[in-house]
Structure formats: structure tokens, C-alpha cells
Amino acid sequence: MQRRLWVAGLFLAGASTLFAAGCGSSTPAPTQEVIESINLRELGEAYRTYVLAKKSSPKKLTDLREYEAGYPMALLGLKNGELEVFWEGELLEPEAVFPEAKSDKILAFESKTPKEGGYVLLTNRAIKKMTPEEFKSAPKAAPTSSSTGTTKATP
């Protein structure tokens, strides 16, 4: 009797292991592009959150500080000078979770992009990798009002 219980327990343990192995996550792993550009993606969402709440575009880093807990990579990238923004740039379709508007205008970018190439955030919140030449010739986000242009993180 004891041996039967032991065999049944062993069988159940093996079956549950096989069952658990077949129940892995069906969520695909993030692509290298997503990993490399996560701070820009967060910046796009922080910028969008600000626009929706304030009905205007942020003018400087301190405008986004209240969203730091929700978008830590974006704010850290701005503080460290890894990201730059065309402050007051107009964001397309901020009310849309997935905007349908097409854009080729740069809203923000990795600081290395003008010299080495890298990722940019477009005004429709799409992420694109650009060469220095592409970056130089690409249109930049126009301010919704007067702006001082691109700046690094300014308090």
C-alpha cells in the first residue's frame, strides 16, 4: 500500500512537471530595439501624460518630474544627458493609445544620434533608428508655442 502511494505521488509529481513546462508564457520576448529604446518609449508616454493632463506640451525637465515614478528610465535618461528633447514640440494624437498619424518629425532622441546614429522618438510616439545623416536631414518637432529649441535636461 505504501509503495502504491509512493508510485502515485511520483507519477503526479512527474505529470505536474510536464504540465507546468507546457504552460510557459506565450508572451514573446522583447526585441533588441525595444530593449535599447525603452527610455525613449517611456519619454513618449511621460510627454503624452503631461499633454493630456496640462493641455500643453512640457517646456523643460521639471515639467515632467511629477511623472518620474511612472517613467523612471525616461527621467533618468534626461537627467544624465542621454536623451534630448525638442521641448514644446507638438505631440500628434496624444489622446490615442496607438496613434494612427504618420510622422517623420523628431520629438526626442538619444544624445549620441547626431554623431553616431541611434534611436529617435517621433511626434507620433514611434521609435526609429537613424544614421547621423538621416538625423541631420529629418524635420524636427515644431513647438506648439515659442520654444528655445532642443535642450538637454534643464531644471
CA dist., res. 27 & res. 94, Å (int): 27
Phi and psi at residue 107, to the nearest 5°:
-100, -40
- Tell which wins on pLDDT, 146 or 133: 133
Taking the alpha carbons of 87, 43, 132, 98 in that order, is the dihedral positive or negative? Answer: negative
Q: What is the pLDDT of residues 13-43, one digit of tens each?
A: 444 444 444 455 567 776 767 777 899 999 9
The pLDDT of residue 36 is 78
**Residues 57 and 88: beta-carbon distance below 8 Å:** yes
- Tell which wins on pLDDT, 12 or 1: 1
Q: What is the pLDDT of residues 90-105, one digit of tens each?
A: 999 999 988 899 999 9
Is the pLDDT score of 87 beyond 80?
yes
What is the DSSP code string of 83-128? EEEETTBPPS-TT-SS-------EEEEETTHHHH-EEEEETTS-EE
The percentage of the chain sitting over the pLDDT mark of 90, rounded to a whole number, equals 64
Q: What is the pLDDT of residues 102-126, one digit of tens each?
A: 999 999 999 999 999 999 999 999 9
Question: Which residues touch 145 (CB under 8 Å, ≥6 apart)?
Answer: 56, 88
- Tell which wins on pLDDT, 32 or 133: 133
Average pLDDT, the chain: 81
Is the pLDDT score of 47 beyond 60?
yes
Grouping H, G, I as helix, E, B as strand and the rest as coil, residue 27 is coil
